Amino acid sequence: MKKQQTGQSMDRVDGRLKVTGGARYFADHQPDGLLYAALVCSPVSSGTIKSVNATLALRAPGVVDVVSHLNAPRVPAYQESKPGAKDGLKIFKDDRIYSNGQPVAIVVANTLERAVYAASLVEVQYNQETHYTDMNASMDKAFQNSRMKDYVRGEAGAWEKAAVTHTAQYTIPLEVHNPMELAGIIAHWTTPDTLTLYAKTQGVKSVQETIQDLFKIPEQNITVHSQFVGGGFGMALRIWPLEVATILAAKKIRKPVKLVITRDQMFTLVGYRPNATQQLSIGATAEGKLTGITHEAVAITSPYEDFTEGIVAMSKFMYACPNVNTKYQLVPLNMSTPVWMRGPGEATGSFALESAIDELAHKLKMDPLQLRVINHADVDPEKNLPFSSKYLKEAYEIGAEKIGWTNRNPVPRSREEDGMLVGYGMSSGTFGAYRGKATVSATLKADGSLVLQSAASDIGPGTATAMVQIAADVTGIAPEKIKFMLGESSYPFAPEQGGSSTVSTVGSAVSDACKALQQQLATIAISNIPAFKTAAPETIIYEDGQLLTANRQEKISYEALLQQQQLPEVKVMTTSQGGPERKKYSMYSFSVHFAKVHVHPATGVVRIKHIVSVADAGTIVNAKTARSQMIGGVVGGIGMALTEEAILDHRFGRFVNNNFADYHVAVNADTPPTDVYFINKKDPYINPMGSKGMGEIALIGFAAAVANAVFNATGKRVRDLPITPDKVL
Ligand code: MOS
């Protein structure tokens, strides 16, 4: 047998392209006659546009057009929208301003510099109205929609009757995804109803579908290219007004138009993690058995969309607790719409829950790890189903050993090293292990190489590499002879890269397509190769890129079969999706984060000294990219814990730190030695590989581990992220 590929640390198949500049991101494309766009954005946060004067801009050198609500092409879908429907911002439809930074015009010129200059010449006047950007001052506007029903298991509010109780408010600020690559698009209408896009997206098929719905043109008339994406973290899970604005300009001008937004526009145009306030109340017996959890969350949204996510999800099933109730409300503000940001709502919710567990443990005078273990949910208490796989207790053990948990003194502010206060903290994380529907085509060429295609996206985790490994194991074909192609809407359907589900969803389809291909080859062999004539199809053995008869006496390589039959290629297409196993099992990935921190006793500066993260994510397909994925999540978690906060000046409804100098994303210097461990045990039910998701659990819970460590170091409980020195002192 060939070496098993799954589990190996195979280098990225596109790594060389990425580090040599060979990878072409959306903005690298240069269609003939390309024009450049710049946005004019509203400096007011609520009101209407009184006038748009583009006279000066249109006179500037190289300017082709200025497009606004006054002259934009019609969007058929806008007409269908019912008044008051919360179905998104209809860019350039009318004169209404909902939030600061909302695009009001797009300027197109023959160079980028000319477009940017001309944008500064567009004179827009506004009727300004009162705006609301402060959630705390707008709590009277809180509401629930049909997707956010209250949850009650057992008795609501039971925590209050417990022997030991804890209740506190936890807040997280607004955070912004800020991937390295800026958002934007190249749009080109090659005919009045045929559109080609070079997009930055986590889903080429969903872009195609959105455009189809907006412009009412057939799917096959829309081509979306997005082979390389320079990071997303969730911001590219949907089409934004900036893309529609560019598509409208390109439609009017009938030339290809490119827009790349600026870093400060990344704060207002492509979503964000909504700031949220959570009241987490928890009660336990004197022995530490949880008796009640109440989790109530309020988060912000835009005036024109209700963005909801899983903020209270984890509290419902993480611990064996008979009484749990949750509430989740939204406050609409004069802000653009939030969007899932890595870990999404579960990252927000886990900060409250996993901090509260630590606080309760302290009151109980119990080790917080022990408290988690004695309340471990052996079955899913929310769905009342067994877990498809769950190795959380093993993860706790590994993490505790590797961080040196026994060095933790339960008494806060009791240890020092090099003049710094020392603390240890931990937390758990979890996220649904999903599997969606995807189609993959598999083409075996006469030279024995295998080409797989699916309209999946890759925002960086190494999708193609993992797919090659999965295909190599099913077919026995050497990885060097397998190519996985993605990022094209013309390929067979795959969903967005989101929710930690690509390996599960697309990998299953790869696995199934490879199996179908082998069956196709067997059929060819049985009809044409004398030695296989009498073989029953189900007895054929597939091994190492060969077909074998049941007695192993006869064999033929795939390559030889095609050559003998003079077939240039054999192609199959297979659709794969999760089945009834989802009704029988609850499917989640789990993670455990341990952090050792140093806190400076005089300044309150927190330095994370050591991180251990352990993931129960099923079978690990690529040990190298999986480790990188975990470290990436941890780095995001460090930002969430210690530095990231987009600050609004509510007088203007405008961000004051919309740049990388003032909005602090964690960098190498913030990242201590990070040890990653995988349970690496197959989930028997989720998919053929046994792999659960990993992208989200890498971050979920991490901020609480740091907050808990800071408490252990200092005795100061910070319930308001980020944990900046002023809050620690
Ligand atoms: Mo992720 S927040 O599902 O891109």
The CATH number that applies at residue 223 is 3.90.1170.50
Output the CA 232–ligand 1 centroid distance in Å.
8
- C-alpha–C-alpha distance, residues 248 and 108, integer Å: 11
Six-digit token pair at 514? 């490879």
pTM: 0.97
3-state secondary structure at position 710: helix
Q: Best substitution site from 340, 502, 504 to test ligand 1's pocket, by max atoms within 8 Å of Cβ?
A: 340
What is the pLDDT averaged over residues 300-305?
Answer: 98
Name the residues annotated as catalytic.
696
- C-alpha–C-alpha distance, residues 139 and 206, integer Å: 34
Cα 665 to chain centroid distance, Å, stands at 17
Output the CA 635–ligand 1 centroid distance in Å.
16
Q: Does one domain contain both 226 and 346?
A: no
Q: Does one domain contain both 516 and 483?
A: yes
Could you give phi then psi for residue 258, rounded to 5 degrees?
-115, 130
Structural domain ending residue among the three candidates 577, 609, 638: 577
Q: How many other C-beta atoms lie within 10 A of the C-beta of residue 634?
A: 27
What is the pLDDT averaged over residues 69-89?
Answer: 94
What is the pLDDT averaged over residues 309-314?
Answer: 98
- C-alpha–C-alpha distance, residues 238 and 187, integer Å: 16
In a domain, 538, yes or no: yes
Residue 84 has pLDDT above 90, yes or no: no
Query: Is 454 in contact with 486 (CB distance < 8 Å)?
Result: yes
Q: Is 232 in the pocket of ligand 1 (CB under 6 A)?
A: yes
Output the CA 275–ligand 1 centroid distance in Å.
17
Return the ligand 1 atom nearest residue 340 CA. 2
In a domain, 399, yes or no: yes
Q: Best substitution site from 175, 178, 200, 237 to test ligand 1's pocket, by max atoms within 8 Å of Cβ?
A: 237
In one letter, which amino acid is 91?
A: I
In a domain, 4, yes or no: no
Output the CA 385–ligand 1 centroid distance in Å.
26
Average pLDDT of the chain to the nearest whole number: 97
Query: Is 640 in contact with 721 (CB distance < 8 Å)?
Result: yes
Residue 413 has pLDDT above 60, yes or no: yes
In a domain, 175, yes or no: no
Q: In this structure, what DSSP letter does residue 8 have?
A: S
Which residue's C-alpha comes closest to atom 4 of ligand 1? 234
Q: Provide the ipTM.
A: 0.98
Residue 351 has pLDDT above 80, yes or no: yes
Output the CA 498–ligand 1 centroid distance in Å.
4
Question: What residues contact residue 463 under an 8 Å CB cut-off, 6+ apart?
Answer: 456, 457, 484, 486, 497, 502, 503, 506
Return the ligand 1 atom nearest residue 497 CA. 4
Residue 48 lies in domain = 31-130+180-231+236-267
Structural domain ending residue among the three candidates 516, 546, 577: 577
Residue 246 has pLDDT above 80, yes or no: yes
Query: Is 111 in contact with 49 (CB distance < 8 Å)?
Result: no
Q: Is 237 in the pocket of ligand 1 (CB under 6 A)?
A: yes
Q: In this structure, what DSSP letter does residue 500 have?
A: T
Q: Does one domain contain both 537 and 510?
A: yes
- C-alpha–C-alpha distance, residues 650 and 300, integer Å: 14
Return the ligand 1 atom nearest residue 237 CA. 4
- Per-residue pLDDT reduced to its tens digit, 423-457: 999 999 999 999 999 999 999 999 999 999 999 99
Residue 21 has pLDDT above 80, yes or no: yes
Tracing tokens 């598509």 back to the chain, one arrives at 247
Output the CA 501–ligand 1 centroid distance in Å.
9
Output the CA 2–ligand 1 centroid distance in Å.
35
In a domain, 70, yes or no: yes
Q: Is 345 in the pocket of ligand 1 (CB under 6 A)?
A: no
Query: Is 101 in contact with 22 (CB distance < 8 Å)?
Result: no
Q: Is 498 in the pocket of ligand 1 (CB under 6 A)?
A: yes
Output the CA 497–ligand 1 centroid distance in Å.
7
Q: In this structure, what DSSP letter does residue 273 have?
A: B
Q: Is 722 in the pocket of ligand 1 (CB under 6 A)?
A: no
pLDDT of residue 137: 98
Q: Is 241 in the pocket of ligand 1 (CB under 6 A)?
A: no
In a domain, 171, yes or no: no
Give the angle 106-108-112 at the CA atoms, nearest 5°. Answer: 110
Cα-Cα-Cα-Cα dihedral of 708, 713, 715, 718, to 10°?
-40
Cα 287 to chain centroid distance, Å, stands at 39
Share of the chain above pLDDT 90, in %: 98
Structural domain ending residue among the three candidates 545, 577, 609: 577
Q: Is 639 in the pocket of ligand 1 (CB under 6 A)?
A: no
C-alpha closest to that of 402 among 634, 618, 673 = 673
Q: Is 423 in the pocket of ligand 1 (CB under 6 A)?
A: no
Give the largest CA-CA distance in the chain: 85
Q: Is 341 in the pocket of ligand 1 (CB under 6 A)?
A: yes
C-alpha closest to that of 501 among 289, 219, 691, 248 = 691
Query: Is 442 in contact with 450 (CB distance < 8 Å)?
Result: yes
**CATH number of the domain that residue 326 is part of:** 3.30.365.10
Radius of gyration of the chain (CA): 27
Residue 1 has pLDDT above 60, yes or no: no
C-alpha closest to that of 691 among 476, 505, 456 = 505
What is the pLDDT averaged over residues 331-350?
Answer: 98
Return the ligand 1 atom nearest residue 342 CA. 2
Return the ligand 1 atom nearest residue 499 CA. 3
**Burial class, 552, CB count within 10 angstroms (exposed 0-12 / middle 13-18 / buried 19+):** exposed
Q: Does one domain contain both 187 and 255?
A: yes
Six-digit token pair at 70? 């006054």
Q: Does one domain contain both 417 and 486?
A: no
Q: Does one domain contain both 440 and 557?
A: yes
Q: Is 630 in the pocket of ligand 1 (CB under 6 A)?
A: no
Give the angle 716-670-393 at the CA atoms, nearest 5°. Answer: 65
Q: Is 633 in the pocket of ligand 1 (CB under 6 A)?
A: no
Q: Does one domain contain both 553 and 604?
A: no
Output the CA 235–ligand 1 centroid distance in Å.
8
Q: Count how many domains the chain has.
A: 3
Residue 83 has pLDDT above 90, yes or no: no
In a domain, 588, yes or no: yes
Return the ligand 1 atom nearest residue 500 CA. 3
In one letter, which amino acid is 476?
A: G
Q: Best substitution site from 272, 342, 629 to test ligand 1's pocket, by max atoms within 8 Å of Cβ?
A: 342
C-alpha closest to that of 304 among 129, 135, 98 = 98
Query: Is 435 in contact with 501 (CB distance < 8 Å)?
Result: yes
**Cis peptide, bond prior to residue 322, ω within 30 of zero:** no
pLDDT of residue 579: 83
Q: Is 338 in the pocket of ligand 1 (CB under 6 A)?
A: no
- C-alpha–C-alpha distance, residues 190 and 208, integer Å: 16
Write out the E strands in 469-540.
482-485
- C-alpha–C-alpha distance, residues 260 and 269, integer Å: 12
Tracing tokens 């179908």 back to the chain, one arrives at 516
First to last CA, the chain: 61
- C-alpha–C-alpha distance, residues 86 and 303, integer Å: 8
Six-digit token pair at 237? 């899970």
Question: What residues contact residue 84 under an 8 Å CB cut-off, 6+ apart?
Answer: none
Q: Does one domain contain both 421 and 497?
A: no
Output the CA 406–ligand 1 centroid distance in Å.
35
Question: What residues contact residue 449 under an 8 Å CB cut-off, 6+ apart?
Answer: 477, 481, 482, 483
Q: Does one domain contain both 281 and 292?
A: yes
Q: Does one domain contain both 255 and 381?
A: no
pLDDT band at 11 (very low <50, low <70, confident <90, very high): very high
Q: Does one domain contain both 446 and 297?
A: no
Residue 2 has pLDDT above 80, yes or no: no
Q: Is 698 in the pocket of ligand 1 (CB under 6 A)?
A: no
Q: Does one domain contain both 346 and 460?
A: no
pLDDT band at 272 (very low <50, low <70, confident <90, very high): very high
In a domain, 152, yes or no: no
Q: Is 340 in the pocket of ligand 1 (CB under 6 A)?
A: yes
Question: What residues contact residue 472 under an 8 Å CB cut-off, 6+ apart?
Answer: 2, 5, 478, 479, 482
